[in-house]
Amino acid sequence: MEESELVLRLKDRDKNAMAYLYDKYSAALLGVASRIIKDDDISEEVLQDVFMKIWNKIDQYDASRGRFFTWMMNLTRNAAIDKLRSKEISRSSKTDSMDDYVYRVDSRNSTEMHTDGIGVRALLNDLVEEQKFILEKVYFEGFTHTEIAEEYDIPLGTVKSRLRSALKHMRKKLA
């Protein structure tokens, strides 16, 4: 189904479209949520909320402002970050580093998943260290540019340019 048709059917309150949406995107969105929250059960709670939000707020999606997935991804990121705050799980107090968690998720992927997900580590393996760090923090852990700049004492412009370089690399790789 074309993205535009899917959106149209969702706006038309078509439950079959919702099932289709779930099959296509639930695993990608759960990936987004679980890398921010780092707890499988809470992440699935968030995923459930996110699908309800997609269903209830679909009229707010405006195709002229970006892709449908981006909209869903940002809903998911916001919901995950809100959940983190409400549970008062401070991200910095967590002892397990991204790397540990990524290992865990990756190994879970390989046993439980029937998707073609290759895992964060494999995806980022050929990035230079500074770029990998920024991409992990911004994209996978949901930090804002400003948070990284302040917390890790990196100039904001550098955060932006490293993110851009990292993303350019990913675009080439995933093209």
Nearest in space to 126 (alpha carbons), one of 174, 92, 88, 78: 174
39 binds another protein (CB under 8 A): no
Q: Tokens standing for 60?
A: 């707010």
138 contacts 156 by C-beta, under 8 angstroms:
no
Chain centroid offset of residue 78 CA = 10
CA distances to 9, 23, 30, 99 from 132, in Å: 38, 30, 21, 11
What does the alpha-carbon distance between residue 93 and residue 90 come to, in Å, rounded to a whole number?
5
171 binds another protein (CB under 8 A): yes
Q: Of the ranges 4-12, 25-33, 82-90, 91-99, which one interacts with another protein (CB under 8 A)?
A: 25-33
Applying the rule CB under 8 A, the residues between 125 and 144 that interact with another protein are 128, 138-140, 144
Applying the rule CB under 8 A, the residues between 94 and 113 that interact with another protein are 105, 108-109, 112-113
Residues that bind another protein (CB under 8 A): 13, 15, 18-19, 22-23, 26-32, 34-35, 43-44, 47-48, 51-52, 55-56, 64-67, 69-70, 73-74, 77-78, 105, 108-109, 112-120, 123, 128, 138-140, 144-145, 157-158, 160-161, 163-165, 167, 170-171, 174
